[in-house]
Chains A and B, each alone.
Chain A
């Protein structure tokens, strides 16, 4: 599916790089632990997180993630959004909880981008 599909499924809105809505999304993960993301996530995945600090964007940048979606209606500050724009990392925000968001995406065929586990 594409980021635009993700947006619809999660009732989300774009807050950075909305022009990249056609970017492909095959895998995703939900985490609030950045070192876990850095250690186990494969490139191009979508990260769902409740954290909104600039290090989320840095983590996405270093790990070549495809996009970031903030759960429970959270939004990062302007500077963090600017950083994401500069680094070409699309960001969305959804009113849904982490559990609900992951559930819906999984139901619609998105698989885990964590390397470990089953």
Chain B
């Protein structure tokens, strides 16, 4: 499904990713851990095609196509859905507009009954006519990101810390909806998290750790989390060197 080989990515002329290899098979959900500033968001942005994240070597293949040079909208249309860690606000563009855009509807088309149900479920009905992300609380932004992704019906979900700053009930809610979607659609996912609580509600096949722009320790996600908790990120590097 997603295949990344020897990927080097620079931001503002500085190399952040120093050769990442990652292979996410169809239908699998992967969890990525790693210290602040290690390059997790950078990898996600490189996958989604964000300008400014320049690939200096290696490549990204999605559904058998080399997408390394494909523009962001092209990747979205192929089925890559990105949930941002820090989504921007846009004056005058409402959450309702974003939903229309995500679901490929015309600007005047209204939401269907099922769609409205989903909005309600994520407790965002009152936000439909507010400017996207403007004055949204941290948790509200996360819910809005998930909502948009679910409307995009992506084949690969990229979720950047969907759980940070989210209260326990909201986390259960959004993780539950994502899990639902994944089960129904057979989509794959890559989820960045620090706490790992999201693993209580979301089934994840594999975990890995990003340290200093490299990926280490690919194994059972709960085991990865336990090791980080007990011996810290350094163990991941040591373990990688031994392998």
Question: Do chains A and B stick together as partners?
Answer: no
